[in-house]
Structure 1
Amino acid sequence: MKRAPVLTQALVLILCLLAACAPRTTTEAPSFPVVAPRFGDSDPVDWAPQDHPLTHPVHGIDVSTWQGDIDWRAARAAGVNFAFLKATEGGDRLDPAFRQNWAAARAAGVPRGAYHFFYHCRSAASQARWFIAHVPADNQALPPVLDMEWNAHSPTCPGRLPATEVRSEARIFLDAVTRAYGRRPILYTTVDFYADNQLWKLQGVDFWLRSTAKHPSDSFPGQHWLIWQYTATGQVPGIAGDVDLNAFAGSRRDFAAWVAR
């Protein structure tokens, strides 16, 4: 299996500069032990230094059955500080690896949450019920995630809804899952889906934004975000093949507080 170098000299320099600038006070030490990322990328982007994902100290992954068997302890040791696991899709599909990943990630000490891939040909209410039926209520889990994007290549559900209906369906799902788990889900989306459906009109939502060629501040101008998915071609010890890599928006201390909540 071909692997990209873990860190180029330029990235090492960025990390060293960040470490040099970090406050040296005990108040910044998180209760959750954040591990610096030791990831590669099979198709890396030439990021401007100020936009580089490594300017954010906390990184994680999202996975599904396509990643195969994962050595979660090796991934954790390599800097996987959080993970989102595909649980459900539409109203009748459960990811085959979800239960195994749900248990194994926790056993390895990786904070994890579950995500649902939305189908635009089924009601949001029925999809929320499907998700709730298959994802355990765990007060140590990260918030649930609603993944909304266009699904043009689906053989059964390639259609699109009007923007107002998309936002209405998102609200129905988010509200139903909030009631079930006591935590408002995160909304994952892509650049085109966000723009097509004017998702900035959804208030009170934490966004997880996919932007693999630009910083989210350029791809989603003015939009706050909690998590940034910055590549789909990450290389992580313990995982065979490519995997999505994500950066948390805040500091180590912010992350520790978020996990604690």
Structure 2
Amino acid sequence: MITPSPRPWVRAGAMIVALAATLSGCGGSTPPTATLSPSDTQALYIRENRASGIPHRFGDTDPHDWGQVSPARYPVHGLDAARYQGMIDWHAARGAGIRFGYLKATEGGDHIDPAFAQNAAGARAAGVPVGAYHFYYFCRPASEQAAWFIANVPKRRGDLPPILDMEWNHLSPTCRIRPPAEQVRANIREFSRIVERHYGTAPVIYTTPEFYARNDLGSLRGSEFWLRSVTAHPSERYLDERWSFWQYTGTGLVPGVRGPVDLNAFAGSEANWQAWLAARSQG
């Protein structure tokens, strides 16, 4: 869930200006660029980045040809974000079909995402179920990281269960170690045990294909997974693994969100989603 920065959105400005000018010059209904509101500019950009296989009100700056098994086959979609997306207009996102939001809250044992509190409050106000995720840091004990997450993410009735984000971060300037697989799995169990005891619901484990395989996460019986797979259905990347969430792109576009954002699908039907919320939301 290393969320992309909004810079591609900024770089697209020249394209939007040119397109708007062309449409205006051709007698189209688009107003001159100088009068385009931010929401109009965003809507234009999303229209120019429509992608097959995902819900029609979203876009994708780097789409994949999904073929027969596409994300659009799933009825419930959501996003995950961090400070890079700034403040999200959750009412606009909900109107476009966003049904849930996960936000980065903490990393390691001393980092807080500065956008978490305000974006979480905005999601709740808009009626979008919201949850927090912790980005794991391999140079700090699991117990300290769990305590840091608990200290900074209030327990709130109705919020989604926590997410433990487990992936390699080769860009870290302070910690690039890759512990043995047995230690990684022990870290997951310890963090999960502490967090579940506090929130009354176990965290979902987010991971990537390479991390999953390298650390044999399939042996974590009873764990619930959020799987990243941006070029194939999860069944092709994680053989025989069950999942609740599928992150299908990191370059999605959604009304109300500044710049590219991760998009995700829930595994089941609308009825399955409601049942999952009832069973897994914080009590």
Which range, TM-score by smaller chain?
0.7 to 0.9
Separation (CA, whole Å) in 2 of partners of 1:211 and 1:167:
21
Question: Does residue 147 of structure 1 match 2:165?
Answer: yes
Would you identify which runs of 4 or more consecutive aligned residues in structure 1 move more than 6 Å? none
2:131 equivalent in structure 1: 113
How far the C-alpha of 1:257 sits from its partner, in A, is 1.5
Structure 1 residue aligned with 2:201 = 183
How does the TM-score come out when normalised to structure 2?
Answer: 0.81
Compare CA radii of gyration and give the structure with the larger one. 2
Q: How does 1:27-38 map to 2 (within 5 A)?
A: 38=57
Following the alignment from structure 2 to structure 1, what is the Cα–Cα distance between the partners of residues 89 and 120?
Answer: 13
- The CA RMSD over aligned residues, in Å, is 1.4
Q: Which residue of 1 aligns with 2:23?
A: none
Correspondences of 1:125-140 after superposition (within 5 Å): 125-140=143-158
Question: 1:37 Cα shift?
Answer: 6.0
Structure 1: 5+ residue stretches without partners: 13-35
> 1:48 is matched with which residue: 67, 89, 113?
67
Asked whether 1:228 is paired with 2:243, we answer: no
CA distance in 1, matches of 2:50, 2:269: 21
Equivalent pair of 2:62/2:251 in contact (CA under 8 Å) = yes
Q: 1:103 to 1:4 in 2, by over 3 A?
A: closer
Distance 1:11 1:136 in 2: 37
Q: Distance in 1 between matches of 2:121 and 2:189?
A: 29
Report whether the alignment pairs 1:257 with 2:275: yes
TM-score with structure 1 setting the length: 0.87
The alignment-based identity, stated in percent, is 55
Unpaired stretches in structure 2, ≥5 consecutive residues: 1-8, 13-44
Q: What is the match of residue 71 of structure 1? A: 89
Cross-structure match for 1:29: none
Cα distance change of structure 1 residues 37 and 60 upon mapping to structure 2, 3 Å threshold: farther
Residues 50 and 56 in structure 2, CA contact (< 8 A), matched pair in contact too: no
Shift of 1:7: 4.8
Instruction: State the alpha-carbon separation in 2 of the partners of residues 153 and 85 from structure 1.
Output: 20
Aligned residue for 1:229, secondary structure, equals strand
Q: 1:237 aligns with which of 238, 255, 262?
A: 255
The equivalent of 1:28 in structure 2 is none
